[in-house]
Amino acid sequence: MTNRIAIVIQYDGAGFRGWQNQKDSKTVQGTLEKIISELDPIRPVKVIGAGRTDSGVHASGQVAHFDCSGPIPIKKWASAINGRLPESIKVLESVNVRRDWHACYSAKYRRYRYSIFNGSYPNLFLQNISWHKYKFRLDIDLMKQALNDLLGLHDFSAFEKAGSNRNNSLTTVQDVSICRYGDVVTVDIQASGFLYGMVRLLVGQLVAVGEKRLSLEKFRHRWREGLRSEVRESAPAHGLCLIRVGYDENIFSKEKSFDTFPNFSLPRFDSFQDSTNMEINK
């Protein structure tokens, strides 16, 4: 009997050439397929992901599925795979799904988070998961206004890198948010689907708005008119993380799939403020 198994996955993208299989390159998909095939040698295993993260991009809530026919119990697949994975990938949960369920095509949304470290000085512990922008304090009120304009169904060709195989550049942005926790700024974007390179190009423009190098009017004009040639700043890959994939039904337990990215919501020192004027809580 063949079972379809869905898994939710975390990975540090620094050591991979993205999710999708590439010849002579180390990828997340290829690593998983090799290990799962060793555990279920009856048939070659194809692992289908919900999103194709680029080289260097992380995931705290990537979802994938594969078909298997071996003797391993469904719930034990996560631990079986983890026992052979490198430390940079972890499977959080494995569940049985219907044969017509598809990690990519059944998904209703993907949610990405981009993290920016806006402190004056480097932070060793954040450098691999955030973009260090230190020259100016980002104006997140301006950035919020820019983000809110993106809600709804639009043509986002201004934020699409060359090499995409999509038929058009239309997608629906369902939710956006931007938060500051001291020196850490996080940008969340949820959409029905994403264009190739969309989030990184968008964040590059948002940072220019937050640093007041790009006006709101110019930002709006660029993306509404599809002026891709004027969108030249792309945020680095290591600040981006796929944090959640949504489906009609609750496939996984919430604590393992909803948002396992590090929480920056605790009060933190803001290096752009005069520390002598800050209230000290005892």
CATH number of the CATH domain containing 141:
3.30.70.660
Question: How distant, in Å, are the alpha carbons of 12, 83, 112, 237 from that of 18?
Answer: 10, 22, 15, 10
CB 115 within 8 A of CB 129: yes
Q: What is the pLDDT of residues 28-83, one digit of tens each?
A: 999 999 999 999 876 789 999 999 999 999 999 999 999 998 789 999 999 999 99
- Token pair in block for residue 244: 């959640």
What CATH number is attached to the domain comprising 38? 3.30.70.580
Average pLDDT over residues 240-258: 92
Look over the chain and give the mean of its residue pLDDT values, rounded to a whole number.
Answer: 91
- Alpha-carbon distance of 211 to 144, in angstroms, equals 13
The per-residue pLDDT for range 162-189, each reduced to its tens digit, is 877 788 899 999 999 999 999 999 999 9
Average pLDDT over residues 218-245: 96
The residue segments making up the domain with residue 82 are 3-97
> Domain check: are 123 and 218 in the same one?
yes
Give 230's Cβ-side CA count (13 Å radius): 13
* pLDDT bracket for residue 23 (50, 70, 90): confident
**pLDDT for 281:** 39
Residues 195 and 229 in one domain: yes
Coil, strand or helix at 246: strand
Q: Is residue 258 part of a domain?
A: no
| Catalytic site includes residue 54 | yes
Residue 134 located in a structural domain: yes
Burial of 32 (0-12, 13-18, 19+ CB in 10 A): buried
Catalytic residue among 12, 40, 54, 183: 54
Residue 271 lies in a domain: no
Angle value at C-alpha 225, between 224 and 230, nearest 5 degrees: 105
Number of domains forming the structure of the chain:
2
In terms of Cα–Cα distance, which of 225, 218, 172, 180 is closest to 198? 172
* pTM tops 0.85: yes
* Statement to judge: residues 33 and 93 lie in one domain: yes
